Amino acid sequence: MKHKPQRQSKATANPEDLTYDKSAKAVLAQRQILAPILKRSVAEFCNLSLRTIADECIEGTPSVGTVPIEPGHTNRVFHRQPQKIRGSQTEQSDSYEGWITFDVLFYACIPRSKNRIKFIINIEAQRNTTQYDLLKRAVFYASRMISSQKERDFKRQDYNKICKVYTIWLCFYLPEGESSSINQYELAEKSLYGQHQEDKASYDLINITTIHIGNDQPSDELLQLLRLIFIEQITEQQKVEQMRKEFGITLDEEARKELNNMCNLSSGLRDSITASVTKSVTASVTASVTASVTASTEEKTWTESVRNLMKSMKLTAQQAIEALSVPQNLRQKVLDQL
């Protein structure tokens, strides 16, 4: 039986979510945004300047949502040569539409190094919690980045040419009771007997970094930057100005356009962060309102409840109406009273 590739589910996707995700990935793929992420996450870049990382370490144009994760197909799209990476954006993306792909994928190197050390780096943006362990998914992605190098980065059994891979996961939600954090996972040697030790470069080939960003006020500069870009509820102009003043980052017109799209979409990351809170109060609030309304006071009671929920949880009128499950025949009347 022929294996069918895994595809993204369209059942729960809506145009606003898809547009938001596309714009978010485009912003993430900007060299000036990638540079501070790499400086914080890639040990080999920690002593380099942001300008060096942006201008000399990132090779070609990062591939955004075009490289399939499916075994046997990654190599068809992702190539080492910078010109082919650029070409893959337009030449290959249509045939893989709907497939599960790497969000952002690119080659990087240590500039002016004697042996031109190279890496393959993946950035993933995760807005919501999952039913599975996200770290196991990250391990799978890292493994695919390793295995897909055969016959592309090295031939036959020339395993010495394997590139180290980094997969970096930006999670715009926090586990309950936790604050923003950055964690890394990598291979390590453990001696069970004897004195033998291997060169770390022989096994230090996989690094997984998880970055959880929430509504708290972290002191870490990278967390502050990501919070500004993806969580702060301010205008595109205000974000651009703060990035320039506080982080020395100037976006080009194309990046500003994508950032503006993110700011204008109603289904931004704030919905993901407040969704769990909204869901938890919906049942109890709805039951209380439903029990108290009568035919003569129904419209007034719903309006007051929506107004109170908007104030207490800082929701829009539409979000509060959805959270309270206001009857369809009363929604417009409630909106008119607010």
DSSP codes, 27-40? HHTSHHHHHHHHHH
What's the token pair of residue 269? Answer: 């990351």
What's the token pair of residue 37? Answer: 């992420």
What's the token pair of residue 47? Answer: 């002593």
With H, G, I as helix, E, B as strand and everything else as coil, classify residue 63.
Answer: strand
Residues forming a β-bridge with 182: 211
The candidate with the shortest Cα–Cα distance to 182, out of 200, 163, 207, is 207
- Angle of the 31-41 helix axis to the 15-28 helix axis, nearest 10: 70
d(Cα 193, Cα 195) in Å, to the nearest integer? Answer: 7
Question: Count of CB atoms within 10 A of residue 281's CB?
Answer: 14
pLDDT at 225: 94
The candidate with the shortest Cα–Cα distance to 65, out of 95, 26, 27, 119, is 26
Residues forming a β-bridge with 101: 68
The candidate with the shortest Cα–Cα distance to 118, out of 134, 101, 106, 135, is 106
pLDDT at 134: 92
Contact 141/167 with Cβ under 8 angstroms? yes
What's the token pair of residue 309? Answer: 């929920």
What's the token pair of residue 100? Answer: 């599960």
Backbone φ and ψ for 112, nearest 5 degrees, come out as 60, 15
What's the token pair of residue 132? Answer: 């599975």
Contact 117/109 with Cβ under 8 angstroms? yes
Global pTM value: 0.69
Contact 148/78 with Cβ under 8 angstroms? yes
pLDDT at 45: 93
d(Cα 84, Cα 87) in Å, to the nearest integer? Answer: 5
Low-confidence ranges of the chain (pLDDT < 50): 1-3, 9-11, 80-96, 266-269, 273, 276-277, 280, 293, 295-296
User: String of b and e for 102-112 (b: at least 16 CB within 10 Å)?
Assistant: bbbbbbbbbee
pLDDT tens digits, 234-264? 888 899 999 999 999 988 888 888 888 888 7
Place of tokens 């595109």: 236
pLDDT at 114: 63
The candidate with the shortest Cα–Cα distance to 255, out of 84, 24, 49, 44, is 24
Place of tokens 């380099």: 48
